Homo-oligomer: A and B are copies of this chain.
């Protein structure tokens, strides 16, 4: 239950300096808090990195020497128990920020759930920019508050929901966040179509369940016609969002 192996570390080719002014995620990312001049200052030190699915981006034990924006892909934030059980404590999509300020250590494992593109800043440069830009610090503060709310929302899912409600909550959450990011298609009759960013194993680790239980709940939702999803596939169509919300316990 919840014991899976973490493949560690990362081949990472340095890419061309970030052309921030043309960056597609700028407004959504923390960079949206910076003026053109400030961004021009930071831009030369940014580096693109490509991370393969399953690779570890940041690690609890080691000192994190960079910060990053997610340009594309999905990142799992993971905590481990000494015996190997694991719990996903956060999910990060583009254009989310990755890293921990005010301390050298990132207190979790950040692992690529899919192939990921990162826009990375060296620690020192970013810290300097942070001191000069109170609005950047504030933006990060607001991000952290959003992370806190998300974590606490999920505590309710973990602590008080049944397996069925958990899986429905997961689909609801992914649909919402994917729609916000423009990665999902709106379907007639309020349907939503997207591809799950997580494997069954990851979903289990996110929901505090086993793979088998997750699979069974998918089967049930499929049988009920709430979702359409061919077996062995990560593509999902939510046919009836209201029914899903009903099942998730979010609205009664």
Contact = CB atoms under 8 A, between A and B. Distances in A.
A240 interface: no
Nearest to A79: B156
Contact of A144 (B2, B79, B134, B145): B145
Contacts of A140: 141
A141 B152 contact: no
Interface stretch (A66-74, A185-193, A231-239, A244-252): A244-252
Identical copies of this chain, number = 2
Interface in A205-236: 207-208
B155 A144 contact: no
Interface residues of A, number: 43
A134 B133 CA distance: 11
A160 B100 contact: no
A41 interface: no
Given A82-B252, A251-B82, A87 B144 contact: no
Contact of A156 (B87, B134, B160): B87
Contact of A148 (B82, B151, B251): B151
B252 A86 contact: no
7 contacts: A79-B152, A82-B249, A85-B160, A89-B156, A137-B138, A141-B141, A148-B148
